[in-house]
Amino acid sequence: MKFINRNAYIMVAVKGSSYCSSAIRAVKLIVTNALALAAVNIIGDLLIFLGKMSVVAGAAVIAFLMTDAQRYTDPASDTYISSPVIPVALSAVAAYVIANIFFSVRGLRARRTEGRGKT
C-alpha cells in the first residue's frame, strides 16, 4: 500500500490529476511494467551486494597485508601474531557493518529521489 501511495502522489505531481485517478493510473503502470520493475530491483540489489562484498574483500586483503608485515611475523617480537585469521575476520565483519550502513543510506537517498524530475 505504501508503494502504491507513493507512486500515486508522484502521478498527482506529474499529471496534476486527482488522487484516486492517479492511484489507478499508478497501479496500471506498475502492473504493465512488473517485469521491468522486478528486473531493475534484482539488478540493483545484486549491484549493492557486489559493492558490499568488494568493500569487505578489500578490507580483508588490507588487514591480511598489514598482519603479514615483518613486525607481526617475528616470533621474538612482542607484537607476534601466530595466525592472521582472527584479525582478518574481525576486519571483514567491521567492513561489512560499515559498508551495510553506507549502502543503506545510499539506497534510501536513491528511493527518496526516484520520482523527482521524471515525466
Per-residue pLDDT of the chain (119 residues; tens, 9 = 90+): 666 777 788 888 888 888 888 888 888 888 898 898 888 889 988 999 999 999 999 999 999 998 887 667 777 777 788 888 899 999 999 999 999 999 888 665 555 555 555 54
**What length does the chain have?**
119
If asked whether residues 1 and 53 sit together in one domain, one would say no
If asked whether residues 24 and 47 sit together in one domain, one would say no
Closest CA to 87 of 52, 54, 56, 60: 60
Compute the distance between CA of residue 69 and CA of residue 101 in angstroms, rounded to an integer: 30
If asked whether residues 84 and 62 sit together in one domain, one would say yes
Compute the distance between CA of residue 68 and CA of residue 55 in angstroms, rounded to an integer: 20
If asked whether residues 52 and 98 sit together in one domain, one would say yes
If asked whether residues 2 and 51 sit together in one domain, one would say no
93: which DSSP letter?
A: H
If asked whether residues 16 and 60 sit together in one domain, one would say no
If asked whether residues 2 and 53 sit together in one domain, one would say no
Q: What stretches of the chain adopt beta strand conformation (E)?
A: none
Q: Is residue 119 part of a domain?
A: no
If asked whether residues 65 and 91 sit together in one domain, one would say yes
If asked whether residues 21 and 73 sit together in one domain, one would say no
| Radius of gyration (C-alpha) of the chain in whole angstroms | 24
If asked whether residues 14 and 70 sit together in one domain, one would say no
Q: How many domains are contained in the chain? A: 2
Per the structure, the complete domain to which residue 79 belongs is given by: 43-112
- Angle, helices 34-67/19-32, rounded to nearest 10 degrees: 70
User: Hey, how many other C-beta atoms are within 10 angstroms of the C-beta on 74?
Assistant: 12
pTM of the entire predicted model: 0.65
Compute the distance between CA of residue 10 and CA of residue 28 in angstroms, rounded to an integer: 14
